[in-house]
Structure 1
Amino acid sequence: MEYQAYSIRKILDAATSGEIRIPAFQRGFVWEMDRVAHLLDSIYKGYPFGSLLFWRTKQQLAAERRLGTFILPAPQAEYPIDYVLDGQQRLTSIFTVFQNELKPEPNPEWTDIYFDLNAGDNPQDSAFLALENVEEAERHRYFPMRVLFDSVGYRANTDHLDKAKIAVIDKLQEKFKEVTIPVQVLKSEDRSIVAIVFERINHLGVALDTMQLLSAWTWSEDFDLLDKFRDLRDELSDFGFAGVGDDSDLILSCVAGILAKEPGPETLLALNGADVRAQFPRVEQGIRGAIDFLRTQLKVVNLKLLPYPSMLVPLAVFFAEPEGKDVVYNSATYQRLKRWFWRTCFSARYSSQTRKTTIHDIQQVELLKNGQPNTFGDIDVKIDETFFRNSFRVGAAATKTFVLLLSNNSPRSLLSGKQIDLDKVLQSYNRSEFHHTYPRAFLRDQGYEEASINMLANFCFLSGAENRNIGKKKPSVYLSDLGGPEHNIEETLASAFCKAEEFNDDYEFFLKGRLARLVAFAEKLMG
């Protein structure tokens, strides 16, 4: 890190020539005009007003050409360029107040700043004001700061003043000409270091948006990464990607897995922007293919249902192909993909060392895709009834795995026997669509504790309306309410891993039978 001192004149010249630029990943100018006036007051009175942080690099980024009310010309010099990482609001304020070579663009948010010659020496009150219009009669009191470094404008706005006031303004000009602004210059071509620095110095406490940084590094006139992600987001919005910011790390991990064979947004910062642009159709194909496979083959109709979101990454790698081309795979590969999914879910192997596990699976799924020997899906897991004795908690991975298991057994409504519309029921995925098979109120009356009542093995697809209809009835009573001439009760109960004879109000007998069937189906899913 190098420390330098910039005069206001140097700031103006460097910004105008393109030596200093605002990178596209920075926010726009958001200060109120009163805050700009207070900044000038701090400079004038010698109060601390903060420093600037520049990143000096030869890399060409997408840069904002607007600075305050001015459209900047194209850079006059070759790289390196100083990109502003911190202090953008201060730099924009100083530039817009004092710049006099460029013609300002209309901006209703910007108001000129004036020095109040009658302000006196009060250390608390500001001697600078943001005023929209200054009447001719007020020109003896308010001096426009925009002409402080403009010799012609300076004379025009001081000729009408007496010597005492001219002396005050001369002293004002002297102070602003002599003041130096502390600048820290980060010289590095290592993007990961820049990302860390940007995150740590952000005084608003807002985490670094890696997607915006990456967008700046991959930008070209006909390719905006943020636009690409917005389009992809809109296309996949019903799968749970509701906004660019939502799950952006997961999307970026898919991109990194496809392009760099490692997950994590930080991996992308080392990639060549041109390569990202060229390979982006593969990324889109990979994510689309992975989501389609999850939806149609595994009943994962929403991202919220995926027990471990990082599982999306290896699947995206498998389905990544150039635009217009689909992955062709045989039955054995299809079975191995499903085997990997279910064994990963039931083993909870993505609950720790996620990065290491994902890298391993990326390597093995590429071997599988290329028809080479691999261990993809060879996961040692022993499933028993213990898994289904976990409590039903909507956000838990075990609960999501259990719901997907139920979904893959063609579940029917207990009361009507009709096929459950999984897309409709699971899109919202919340507790209201799942209730106790043996009613909670009944079991409480029998003296059972909550841990036993609320285990996974006692839950099934049961809407709130159906549950209210059942109420506190004994299972033997509400079983008799089922039926009708076209309702095959045995098939309906089998779709929920139940049997009619187990609705005899004996909870332990019911659990024993259902647990055995749940374990057997889990083993079948895992191959």
Structure 2
Amino acid sequence: MARLADRVLTGEIVLPKYQRAFVWGPHQILELLDSVLRNYPIGSLLLWETTEQLASEQTVAGLAVDPPRPSRAVRYILDGQQRLASVIGALHGGAGLWDIIYDLREERFFHRTPETPTAAHLVPMQAVSSASLLFGQVVELSADVRDRATRLYEQFANYLVPVVTLNHVSAEESARVFVRINSTGTTMNIVDVARASTWSPDFDLKDEIESLLQVLDAKHYGRVDTKTMLRTIAVAAGFGFSRQDINRLRELDKPRLREAVEAAAKAAERAVDFLSTQIRTPHADALPYYNQFAVLVEVFRQLPKPSSAQYDALRRWFWLTASGEYFKGWSEAQMAQDSQAVAAFARGETGEVDTVAALPRSALWRHSAFSKRNAPSKLLALILAYEDPLDLLTGQRIDVGRALSWQNDKEFHHFFPRAFLRARGVSGAGVNVCGNLVMLTSNSNIWVSDRPPSRYLRDLAEIEGEGALRQRLRTCLVEEEAYQAALRDDYDTFLRVRSETLHRRLLQLIGSAAEPANVASSSAEPLAGDQIIGLDLEGDSLTDEPVDLDSVD
């Protein structure tokens, strides 16, 4: 096994570019090492031998590897990368994930922690690649423990792995083999599959996606995920948004693939301009759903120069689809409908981007937890940003760009302080709802502290004047009835009234105070009190991370 690792580091065995990144976790690495030590089978390696010089990875397990030697046969790894990289990292790494110790007394592998002592019986795995290092460390230990060190060294030096080598196949065929054999084990994601299945020596989909993302970088817009960018390429190629459509990219020749990428890139620029100027999302992280971006890119691919009326319709579409769970569970049927709707809109056959997204429920603001990564919270932030909110204490404009980048969530604070509500028996789920959140500077929040609203609002009125305070509250979408409820410390009434205000403002942005003709209303029951509406991208969930407000309110 150690010999195989050396052959990778010296460039005799290499990873082709279409291989996915290392994805194993710490537990899988330790289990593999334990299997090698116990002489358990760990499966075979599949190599492809060729004289073709393909683009290959320059590092394995974070370690630099020698480039393949020109004019000599090279063996590319098709199957076994995760196992081989784990052994290489353990034997030759030594930092972070690869800082692995073998306890000769307890006979177990573990990752070093700050509390791990230095002791002769605790052997760093990188010492196992050097007999002098290993036996120099254990020389003073008891004979039985030294015997274990000998077994450890010999097992990793002499462990045999079955190797199957393919010959006489092309680079494209090798990529197809890679996709087929990696349909089991640690599952490949759709980006890995699409990259490998479309790969050739002169085309790497990963590089093409990177060029698309650089369009966003050039606009200082941040990045959406690579799966979303794959959607934009698939639909630009004439297929659609779905996983099956992404898989169909392998049907295209490389010129057509590049045409699709270039078309998506031009449309992405226009989509970013629309989102940043018309919706005021300064950063991709402000989008409630990345799938909205995929649809907008296709709109601007088919319709590079919308009319004023079409821009209005796109704004209405954005607010409507951001306000429900339509994109949370974007099914293939919905994707097909949306493709048809975009085409009809671009041809001028419809005045709206027809969607079956439901109108939002007014209970949304009372029952959706405020969380850094969920859609209702991002929707709330966008609505508040539209009002150009003023800080309650200073009267200065809140830096909404900073807030909407979600790099610093300290711009969001509870109007009814958390400590105050908890002292009155309100649950954490009842406190941390969207309807109780406003944009407020950290300094103002510290000034508010945990005081009842009736006290800090009256203090503000005395300091700044009643008229100035009311004006600032309106920019935070806290209107008169909600203000009066806060002066009475009446949280239930405040939350109900402010939720109605937020809902009314959202309906205005959607473009109707009633049900639009092309929108299906929802008769569903209100959300459960502690339910979080999250970001889901066709099954690929983004973890909800609650905003850390422990140091405030």
TM-score band by shorter chain is: 0.5 to 0.7
CA distance, structure 2, for counterparts of residue 232 and residue 208 of structure 1: 19
Which of 468, 474, 491 aligns to 1:488? It is 468
Counterpart position of 1:516? 500
> What is the RMSD of the two structures over their aligned residues, measured on CA atoms?
4.9
The answer to whether the Cα contact below 8 Å between 2:197 and 2:250 also exists between their aligned partners in 1 is yes
Give the superposition deviation at 1:349.
0.9
Aligned in 2, Cα 1:522/1:235: closer, same or farther, shift over 3 Å?
same
Query: Which entry has the higher C-alpha Rg, 1 or 2?
Result: 1
The answer to whether the Cα contact below 8 Å between 1:313 and 1:358 also exists between their aligned partners in 2 is no
Matches within 5 A, 1:94-493: 182-183=164-165, 194-198=178-182, 200=184, 209-210=192-193, 212-213=195-196, 216-217=199-200, 219=202, 225=208, 228-229=211-212, 231-232=214-215, 234-235=217-218, 238-241=220-223, 247-263=225-241, 264=243, 265-320=246-301, 327-373=304-350, 376-379=353-356, 381-390=358-367, 391-482=369-460, 484=464, 488-493=468-473
Aligned in 2, Cα 1:279/1:455: closer, same or farther, shift over 3 Å?
closer
The answer to whether the Cα contact below 8 Å between 1:86 and 1:201 also exists between their aligned partners in 2 is no
Tell me the secondary structure at the aligned position of residue 397 of structure 2: coil
Give the superposition deviation at 1:293.
1.7
Give the superposition deviation at 1:234.
3.9
The answer to whether the Cα contact below 8 Å between 2:271 and 2:296 also exists between their aligned partners in 1 is yes
Which of 473, 477, 487 aligns to 1:497? It is 477
The answer to whether the Cα contact below 8 Å between 1:53 and 1:184 also exists between their aligned partners in 2 is yes
Q: Which amino acid aligns with 1:518?
A: L
Q: Which amino acid aligns with 2:251?
A: A
The answer to whether the Cα contact below 8 Å between 1:432 and 1:463 also exists between their aligned partners in 2 is yes
CA distance, structure 1, for counterparts of residue 295 and residue 301 of structure 2: 10
The answer to whether the Cα contact below 8 Å between 1:25 and 1:212 also exists between their aligned partners in 2 is yes
Tell me the secondary structure at the aligned position of residue 257 of structure 1: helix
Residues 468-510 of structure 1, C-alpha deviation per residue, up to 9 Å, x if partnerless? 1011323232223335479833321111121243432232332
CA distance, structure 2, for counterparts of residue 272 and residue 445 of structure 1: 66
Give the superposition deviation at 1:296.
1.9
Tell me the secondary structure at the aligned position of residue 411 of structure 1: coil
Structure 1, gaps ≥5 residues long: 1-14, 29-41, 76-80, 92-121, 131-179
The answer to whether the Cα contact below 8 Å between 1:51 and 1:182 also exists between their aligned partners in 2 is yes
Give the superposition deviation at 1:275.
1.1
Give the superposition deviation at 1:25.
2.2
The answer to whether the Cα contact below 8 Å between 2:289 and 2:375 also exists between their aligned partners in 1 is yes
Aligned in 2, Cα 1:189/1:463: closer, same or farther, shift over 3 Å?
same
Aligned in 2, Cα 1:386/1:429: closer, same or farther, shift over 3 Å?
farther
Residues 412-441 of structure 1, C-alpha deviation per residue, up to 9 Å, x if partnerless? 212222222211222235542211112223
The answer to whether the Cα contact below 8 Å between 2:179 and 2:197 also exists between their aligned partners in 1 is no
Counterpart position of 1:112? none
Q: Which amino acid aligns with 1:474?
A: P
Q: TM-score, normalised by structure 2?
A: 0.60
The answer to whether the Cα contact below 8 Å between 1:368 and 1:376 also exists between their aligned partners in 2 is yes
Give the superposition deviation at 1:267.
3.8
Aligned in 2, Cα 1:335/1:27: closer, same or farther, shift over 3 Å?
closer
Structure 2, gaps ≥5 residues long: 1-10, 22-35, 59-64, 85-149, 512-553
CA distance, structure 1, for counterparts of residue 57 and residue 324 of structure 2: 52
The answer to whether the Cα contact below 8 Å between 1:22 and 1:84 also exists between their aligned partners in 2 is yes
Worse overlay, 427-436 or 194-203: 194-203
Give the superposition deviation at 1:196.
4.6
Counterpart position of 1:167? none
Tell me the secondary structure at the aligned position of residue 402 of structure 2: helix
Residues 373-430 of structure 1, C-alpha deviation per residue, up to 9 Å, x if partnerless? 3762443534343111122222222222222222222222122222222112222355
Equivalent residue pairs, number: 406
Counterpart position of 1:25? 18
Q: Which amino acid aligns with 1:387?
A: L
Give the superposition deviation at 1:271.
2.6
CA distance, structure 1, for counterparts of residue 434 and residue 66 of structure 2: 59
CA distance, structure 1, for counterparts of residue 423 and residue 41 of structure 2: 70
Aligned in 2, Cα 1:418/1:87: closer, same or farther, shift over 3 Å?
closer
Tell me the secondary structure at the aligned position of residue 516 of structure 1: helix
The answer to whether the Cα contact below 8 Å between 1:405 and 1:522 also exists between their aligned partners in 2 is yes
Aligned in 2, Cα 1:90/1:378: closer, same or farther, shift over 3 Å?
closer
Aligned in 2, Cα 1:193/1:71: closer, same or farther, shift over 3 Å?
closer
Give the superposition deviation at 1:82.
10
Tell me the secondary structure at the aligned position of residue 494 of structure 2: helix
Identity of aligned residues (%): 26
Give the superposition deviation at 1:270.
2.9
Q: TM-score, normalised by structure 1?
A: 0.62
The answer to whether the Cα contact below 8 Å between 1:310 and 1:358 also exists between their aligned partners in 2 is no
Counterpart position of 1:35? none
Aligned in 2, Cα 1:23/1:190: closer, same or farther, shift over 3 Å?
closer
The answer to whether the Cα contact below 8 Å between 1:442 and 1:472 also exists between their aligned partners in 2 is yes
CA distance, structure 2, for counterparts of residue 226 and residue 512 of structure 1: 45
